[in-house]
Chain A
């Protein structure tokens, strides 16, 4: 038993970590000619380029990606918590239809929707704007958020709110001091979902943002085109860092099932 456990542990560890090896090696390499298995010389060229010469560009990309993901997540939660509550707590006619309406944006690729909306967004002057890109990210982040919060509220007991009310608590106080603390772990998962979905979007941002919203994925694509592998590897590592930190930070509150369901 002990033996199998260790084999399982190391094979999972190895398969998960392996893809990061070439990224780390390339980002630290100065010269790496074929057929060297390791770089002939290591050096900080790529990293000093990323944080020095291209530092402002990277910072713009980071802040564009971060602010888009943050605003999309906040709006998704504001709209999604009441909707998830209604779906999780109550029976009503047409619930199946509502769930179908919410499943469709999750399975239909954002590509199809972005191309359809683009022309309309141009007319409404939403194309190439921050709000326009937030809206296109919302089209799939919001349904995802609602699904997670729906799940949270199916396990929720609203009787606690009733008790608070009978003790004279105001509605706002009930929301802030009874409901939110109880659903907080679920909210964390929903927020992470939405943040990661928006953070890793490429094509919908490109179509609606039209090259004006230079997010990290868009920077990465142009780096891959330019063929500078050490720099592309370094930016890739910067790109995964925030999500990884979020995972570390939330690991405690998420418990074991953690990020189950994240796309």
Chain B
């Protein structure tokens, strides 16, 4: 599936084929209407509710007070920083490991179907299952704690460092990194396979060091795919609920968990605030993607390669 590598980078280069507007409408219409109604509808109706417009329960004035409450809450800053920290760290670590893994795979095991098959297994495993596995591994009485105890490094579970429900989100990061490495690696592999070896051989002929070959040949070629994969991973980890809900601390909460906590509160007045947090999450994700696109665009214009 060569084509699916370009999820975020819009397919450039025309196809040279035209179709009548009616034909296009009949092909695209049903799907686009569905997406527009469900996704656009969700955003617009959510915004109305977050602005306080809920005629069914007697609120029909529009105002920014719910957004104001959320943004002025001292917990908002803490939640935002925690969420950004988790999304950025897991994306960066997964990206670095994926680049190394993809390069090693191309070099030493490009023809091995078995290894490619094994690497696909994590793609099919839901985050929730890995979160449960990480609890069983890293909890104070988990498998690692037992191992250290067997090796007489620690004497009781209390001596084992806190790795889940901890301040650094180690457990959360472990789940995301395990899940996202294969995802990014496969995106990179499809590009690296098409690259061939000619450029690298040319580099070697010109006496380029391994590092030079990496920064001047490989990195520019994989950059668009790597960037796209990282954006998808960042957006996902920024807005995901299950893993930080199970493995995070009760305070501060990541933004998605905080949003749902408000939304499901028995106090109906907290509900619009939950929706407001949900929309803030959506806005941050969209803005970070737009900014990175602008950054990449200007970077390319100035002749930078990344």
Q: What is the interface of chain A, defined by CB distance below 8 A to chain B?
A: 1, 4-5, 8-9, 12-13, 15-17, 19-23, 25-26, 34-37, 79-80, 82-83, 85-92, 96, 98-117, 119-120, 123, 135-136, 138-139, 142-143, 146-148, 150-155, 158, 185-186, 189, 196, 199-200, 202-203, 207, 217, 220-221, 224, 229, 232-233, 236, 239-240, 243-244, 246-247, 251, 254, 256-263
Q: Chain A contacts of B303 at CB under 8 A?
A: none
Q: Is B92 an interface residue (CB 8 A)?
A: no
Contact residues on B (Cβ < 8 Å of other chain), bracket: 35 or more
Bound Cα distance from A72 to B146, whole angstroms: 43
Chain B nearest CB, measured from A263 CB (Å): 6
**Which residues of B136-153 are within 8 A (CB) of A?**
136-137, 141-143, 145-147, 149-150
Q: What is the interface of chain B, defined by CB distance below 8 A to chain A?
A: 1-8, 10-11, 14-19, 21, 23-24, 26-28, 30-32, 34-36, 38-39, 41-47, 49, 54, 56, 101, 104-105, 107-109, 112-130, 132-137, 141-143, 145-147, 149-150, 157, 178, 182-183, 186-187, 189-190, 231-232, 235-236, 238-242, 246, 256, 259-260, 263, 274-275, 278-279, 281-282, 285-286, 289
Decide yes or no: A16 and B118 within 8 Å by CB, A22-B142, A23-B129 being known contacts: yes
Bound Cα distance from A105 to B38, whole angstroms: 9
On whether the beta carbons of A83 and B27 are closer than 8 Å, the reply is yes
Q: Chain B contacts of A202 at CB under 8 A?
A: 128, 241-242
Q: Chain B contacts of A246 at CB under 8 A?
A: 124
Taking a contact as CB atoms closer than 8 A, the residue among B7, B56, B114, B240 that contacts A109 in the complex is B240
Q: List 15 other contacts, CB 8 Å, given A99-B10, A119-B54.
A: A4-B107, A22-B142, A23-B132, A82-B28, A82-B31, A83-B30, A102-B35, A104-B286, A107-B232, A107-B236, A112-B43, A152-B3, A186-B3, A236-B128, A263-B183
Chain B nearest CB, measured from A79 CB (Å): 4
On whether the beta carbons of A259 and B286 are closer than 8 Å, the reply is no
Decide yes or no: A104 and B39 within 8 Å by CB, A89-B15, A115-B263, A260-B4 being known contacts: yes
On whether the beta carbons of B190 and A260 are closer than 8 Å, the reply is yes
Nearest neighbor of A239 in chain B, beta-carbon distance: B129
Chain B nearest CB, measured from A157 CB (Å): 11
On whether the beta carbons of B134 and A148 are closer than 8 Å, the reply is no
Chain B nearest CB, measured from A104 CB (Å): 7
**What are 15 pairs between A and B in contact, CB < 8 Å?**
A16-B121, A17-B118, A90-B18, A101-B39, A105-B38, A111-B281, A112-B278, A116-B49, A119-B45, A151-B1, A202-B242, A207-B260, A257-B2, A259-B124, A260-B186
A to B contact number (C-beta, < 8 Å): 340
On whether the beta carbons of B3 and A155 are closer than 8 Å, the reply is yes
Q: Chain B contacts of A199 at CB under 8 A?
A: 126
On whether the beta carbons of B137 and A19 are closer than 8 Å, the reply is yes
